[in-house]
Structures are given as structure tokens and as C-alpha cells.
Amino acid sequence: MMTKRPLGRLIRTICLGLLQVIAWHTAPVLALTNGLALTPPMGWNSWNKFGINVSEVLIKEMADAMVTNGFVEAGYQYINIDDAWQSSRGANGVIVADPTRFPNGIKALADYVHAEGLKLGIYSDRGTQTCGGHPGSGGHEVVDADTYAQWGVDYLKYDNCNASPSSQQADYQKMGNALLNSGRPIVYSICAWQFQSWMPNCGNLWRTTMDIRDNWQSMVGNMDSNATLSAYAGPGRWNDPDMLEVGNGGMTTTEYRSHFTMWCMMGAPLILGNDLRSTSQAIKDILTNGEVIGIDQDAAGIQGTRVKKSGNLEVWCKPLGSTNGTTKAVALLNRGTVPANIVVNWSNIGLSDYGTVRDLWAHQELGFFNGSFTAVVPSHGVVALRIAAANPPRLAVLPNGLPLHLRAYGVSNATIVVQTSTNRADWLPLLTNTPASDAWDLLDPNATEPQKFYRFVMP
């Protein structure tokens, strides 16, 4: 039933809503026009698990595992080499891959990855050296972008070490232009550890935070920083709270499920950071949950926001399809140390009256609810829902004589019980149904006189 809220909270909600609307309308609509990353990029990157220990063998094995272990079917496609693949610059200024770790060079590796239907990503830095002390692209932007294009690189992560703060925007723009002029579509991932307003006009994605660590505090810290920037996200331009740590061992399975869900709620790039060759079934179930990935990959590209907070208990909403549409992804997040009930009121998520609720981790329709939905959420856990507005249920008597024919409207994909009574006091069950469509007919074989009453109840 609709939950009454105190006036103060209502006013606060309206103010927050107005602020969001204002933020949305004042946000820049400028965007990089390379036509890439229209949904958040999905792939894998070497850094979180392997650090500087990259090699041709590792990258090939990870590409193989992405194909054979079901990640491609789930939508992942980029295999990204992070820092430490570079060794030097040749006499002609062309960057050279480490000949011991990458004996066949990057072009051969790109060919291998492409032959598996995947795309290859690479890493560089706007400074003289990368963060790991390898040659950077500062002053070599054009030759590097052209080299990547010739090799068949599809994605560049561009870091921020060993460079002047004052030339940051200009440096990123130089590489952005060089990529655009290289003749090859290359996704441009800005990695400068915090948001700047010029970034949506320059890159397809930009890091909004410092490096993620494989623990709960770091993960929710990055989530909180990224959450303030929702107005800037959209198709082709994404806030990047850093790559996933799911499966690297520092968090519980429950915490990893929350990490993955919240990245999907924020429309974050889904760049895996674990060893794809030895992923446990529990972790694979998280990383390949198509219903949760579907939230992330929704074509409208609206970044979800926190719509309600009460201490450690939060409700997040990501409109699917359009801002004012009738279907919402909703996450109930418990940051506390004990299990707790979390309530989402339809007024929190821009719906009213009736809605059907689906649990995206249990893969279950939970039924038809009026005004709100409550779930118990484990400590550091999340419940991910898809809530769709539904018409109020109605029953109509069809003029077919006896036995009585009824038509039910407004309940689909939810279990409902029809009850009957002659005095509106003693209700008897007539039937239970989980109709697939919104209008369905039923028959009361015992209706011998017209003075009978019918009602719906939820089991």
C-alpha cells in the first residue's frame, strides 16, 4: 500500500528532485563525436590483477579465456593491455613493445585478438613516462596514435603521470585529435583520476576517482565520488569509477555482487580486472548476469542516482529507456554491518500506484505491488530490481450470461488470486493465476445469480 511520508521528507525529496533536474539541464551536452562506446565499454584490463607483469602469452590466454568461459556471450569484447608493454622509442620515434614480453609485437597480438572476434586496447600516458616509468606519449601524440591505428588497436587508456598540471587539457586534446585523425575508430579512455568539465567533450570515458583497491571501503568511496557526476554521462561519454575488482579475493561474494551491481546502476564501463582463466562459478555468475548487465547497457545511457538514504541504507534508481519512462532499475544497498529491511517507495523512483517487481539476482518475478516494495538486504549486500509501472487491476463482467464470464485487466507476470463473495464479508478463493498478458478471461462456474462480488488479492 502507498506509504505516507512526513512532510519534511517530502519537501526534501522534491528539492533534491528539482536540483537533479536543474543539474541535468545545465550539464554540457557536448561530446566526442567518434560514434564509439554508445553503451559503456565492456572488456578486461591487465592492471588490477597482474600489474606490470604483462606479456603476449598472458594477453592471448586471457583472450582465449574470454571466449571459452562465456564472457563474450555476456557482452565483453575489449582485451586491454595496461602499463609496462613499452620498452623504448626507435630511431624514427616509433614506440617499441618490450621484445622479451611481446616477441611478435603488438600488431600480431591485435591480429590474434581480432581473429577471436575481440578488440584490443592499449595504454599510454600524456607525460614523458607512464606511471610505471615506461616511455610516455608526451610530444609523440601523432606518431603514437598513427602507430596504434596501424597495429589495429581499438581502445586507448591514457594516463596522467610525469606531466605538467597546467597542460592537462591541452595534452588530452592533442591525443584525442591524433586518434580522430588516425583513420581508425579508437575508444578514448581518459585516466586523470578526477573529473574535469572538458572531459565529456574530449574522451569516451574518464576516470572520476583515484585507483580502486580490492576492498569494500575503496569500492564504495569510488562509488560515492562517481555518483555526483551523473549529469555528464550518456551514450558515447561515461563516468569511470575505475575497473572492476570482482574476483580478486579482497571482498566477499556478497560485496562483489554489490560492487558489480552498483557499477551497472551507474552505467560504468565494465572492465574486468580478474584472472579470466580461473574464475570460480560464483564470480562468473556475478560477471555474466545478463539481467544486471542489461541495466548497465541500457541504450538510453542514463546514470543511476541515489534517490533515498537513511544512514547506511540506500535506494538507487536508474531509469531504463528514458528519463520519464515507466521502467526503472532499482538497487537496495545496505552499507551497514547487519541485515536490514530497505523500502523503496514508488514516489522515490517516479512511479505511482501499481508496479511489477523482478529480482535480477534471483531471476524471479516477485509480483505486483502497490506503492512500495520492501526487502531484507544482507550486510554489504544489494537487492537489484526491475520495477515496471502497471495498470491498476480491474475486473469486468462480460455480457455472456451464465456461467459468469469475467475479464481481468492490469495484472501480468505476477501471481494474483481472484476471490468471490455473496456478502462482501466471506471471501472464497475462485482461482489463482499468473497471467502472461495484461487482459485475460476467467469463468465462475458456480455463479448462478448475479449478486456475487469479486476481488483480487496478492498471495
What positions carry a catalytic annotation?
159, 211
First to last CA, the chain: 14
The string of DSSP letters for 185-254 reads --EEEE--SS--TTGGGT-SEEE-SS---SSHHHHHHHHHHHHTTGGG-BTTBEEE-----TTSSSS-HH
Interacting stretch for ligand GLA, rule CB under 6 A, among 124-132, 147-155, 218-226, 328-336? 124-132
Residue 242 Cβ vs ligand GLA, minimum distance, rounded to whole Å: 7
Q: What's the CA gap between 418 and 212, in Å, rounded?
A: 52
Sign of the CA dihedral 232, 238, 242, 245? positive
C-alpha distances in angstroms, 400 versus 77, 304, 422, 439, 442?
58, 49, 20, 17, 12
Which residue among 154, 159, 214, 314 contacts ligand GLA (CB under 6 A)? 159
Give the span between the Cα atoms of 177 and 200, in whole angstroms: 14
Binding segment (CB under 6 A) for ligand GLA, from list 7-15, 33-41, 130-138, 359-367: 130-138
List the 439-444 sheet strands across, edge first.
394-398, 404-409, 439-444
246, 210, 235, 206: which is closest to 225 by C-alpha?
Answer: 210
Least distance in angstroms from the C-beta of 350 to ligand GLA: 36
Contact characters 38-77, ligand GLA, x per CB under 6 A: ---------x------------------------------
Beta bridge partners of 216: none
DSSP conformation letters of 311-350: TTEEEEEEEESSTT-SEEEEEEEE-SSS-EEEEEEGGGTT
**Binding string, 260-299, against ligand GLA, x = CB under 6 A?**
----------------------------------------
For residue 81, state whether it binds ligand GLA (rule: CB under 6 A).
no
Site string for ligand GLA, 169-208 (x = CB under 6 A): ----------------------x-----------------
CA distance 262 to 271: 14
Of the two residues 191 and 340, which places its CB atom closer to ligand GLA in the complex?
Answer: 191
Nearer to ligand GLA, 112 or 158 (CB): 158
Q: Which DSSP state fits 109?
A: H
Shortest distance in whole angstroms from residue 111 CB to ligand GLA: 25
Residue 271 beta carbon to ligand GLA: minimum distance, rounded to whole angstroms: 10
Inter-residue contact 332 to 382 (CB < 8 Å):
yes
Stretch near ligand GLA under the rule CB under 6 A, chosen from 127-135, 319-327, 415-423, 428-436: 127-135
**Closer CB to ligand GLA, residue 160 or residue 305?**
160
Q: Considering just the CA atoms, what is the radius of gyration of the chain in Å?
A: 26
* Proportion of the chain in helix, strand, coil states, percent, rounded to 5: 25, 30, 45
Q: Residue 356: beta bridge partners?
A: 368, 388
Integer Cα distance of 39 and 235 in angstroms? 6
The minimum distance between CB 216 and ligand GLA, in angstroms, equals 19
Question: Which is nearer to ligand GLA, 191 or 199 (by Cβ)?
Answer: 191
Stretch that binds ligand GLA, among 58-66, 71-79, 129-137, 277-285 (CB under 6 A): 129-137
Minimum gap (Å) between residue 107 Cβ and ligand GLA? 22
Q: Near ligand GLA by CB under 6 A, which window of 128-136, 232-240, 312-320, 350-358?
A: 128-136
For ligand GLA, the binding residues in 304-343 under the rule CB under 6 A are none
Cell of 304: 543511476
Nearer to ligand GLA, 83 or 144 (CB): 83
Give the nearest distance from C-beta 110 to ligand GLA in angstroms.
20
Among 64, 116, 146, 211, binds ligand GLA (CB under 6 A): 211
List the one residue out of 266, 267, 280, 269 whose CA is nearest residue 333: 266
Pick between residue 259 and residue 358 the one whose CB is nearest to ligand GLA.
259
Compute the distance between CA of residue 105 and CA of residue 97 in angstroms, rounded to an integer: 6
Using the rule CB under 6 A, is 83 a contact of ligand GLA? Answer: yes
Ranges of beta strands (E only) in 2-52 are: 42-45
Q: How far is the CB of 353 from ligand GLA (least distance, A)?
A: 46
Does position 132 bind ligand GLA by CB under 6 A? yes
Interface pick for ligand GLA out of 56, 63, 77, 82 (rule CB under 6 A): 82
Closest to 200 measured CA to CA, from 236, 227, 156 = 236
- Piece of 125-133, 313-321, 362-370, 414-422 that binds ligand GLA (CB under 6 A): 125-133
| DSSP assigned state of 371 | S
**Closer to ligand GLA by Cβ: residue 211 or 291:** 211
Q: Closer to ligand GLA at the Cβ: 81 or 414?
A: 81
Judged by the rule CB under 6 A, the positions of this chain that interact with ligand GLA are 47, 82-83, 130-132, 159, 191, 211
